[in-house]
Amino acid sequence: MGRTTGHTIAGAGSTPLSPNAKERMSEEPVWGSRLVTSDGVELATRSWLGAGEPRAIVVLVHGLSSTKDHSHVVALAEQLARRGVDVLSYDARGHGASGGFSTLGDLERHDVAAAVARARTRDGRVVLIGASMGAIAALGYAQTDPELSGVVVVSSPGDWRIPLRARALFTVALARTRPGRLFAARHVRVRIHPVWNPPEPPRAVAKRVVTAVPLAIVHGRRDRLIPFQSSLSVSIDEMPSAHAVVVPGMGHAFDPAGHEAICDALDWVLARSRGARVESPVLPT
């Protein structure tokens, strides 16, 4: 598939590396705690690896203001591991222990690319699971990589419309105003780049992704940031080969109420993927 993105800002999303940073990364073990993106951002990683042969490896991509160590991310990773897959997650740029500045899902596609490259050193069957900002980043990368074994997007908007809801308006204020970015840096611990170049709407990107990669869409009926009417799920008729699930009691992103549905969506994409082992794992009692 061809690559289509928004305009790229020179240097956006990155912070200067020390002179020997890339050399230091190359000296680390393959599954070291950090990796470097193609545009020079250092990312902190975390993994959940089984002892036997996994069905696949999942790259778990969190949303805005979350991290690889957030309790919802960790709980989902552990549940996925019980389904017989390895899991790799990381702090997106501008978040947690990673460098750079958040671009709200645009340049985060480079974060996903670096994580996929790391994941493939362990297993060639890679599935992306991204939530909210992470869903946008996952789709942005997935349109360039038809060798993925599947993509699961969670709480993804369909277009760049701002719902008239308090949480959505607050998020926009954090990202699009100087006082908001200062508040985010000091109190939410997210460094947001002052310029945002919106990439293509997720709906347009997803319609390309689904032509080459199994795609599942999960959304919560109780999502107060991206209501169902504004979600990617409403575009399912334009993507007949995709799979969409709306979870009645689920809120936004990796809300634990949606973990079972997300795990089931993983099974769905793997069942349709080339070269993936799809037998049901034996779960611990």
pLDDT tens, position by position, 2-61: 333 333 333 445 443 333 333 333 333 346 689 999 999 999 999 999 888 999 999 999
Domain count, the chain: 1
Question: What angle separates helix 133-142 from helix 202-209, to the nearest 10 degrees?
Answer: 40
* Cα gap 179→184, rounded to integer Å: 9
Alpha carbon of residue 41 to chain centroid: 17
Nearest Cα residue to 84 out of 281, 273, 268: 281
Q: Hey, what are 107's tokens?
A: 């340049």
Domain that holds residue 52: 22-161+198-271
H or E element in which residue 117 lies: helix 108-120
> Do the bridges between strand 86-90 and strand 42-48 make them parallel or antiparallel, or are there none, so unpaired?
antiparallel
Length in residues, the chain: 285
In a domain, 249, yes or no: yes
Mean pLDDT of the chain: 84
In a domain, 9, yes or no: no
In a domain, 213, yes or no: yes
Q: Count of alpha carbons within 13 Å of 128, Cβ hemisphere only? A: 36
Model pTM score? 0.82
pLDDT in tens, 187-198: 677 888 777 777
CATH number at residue 32: 3.40.50.1820
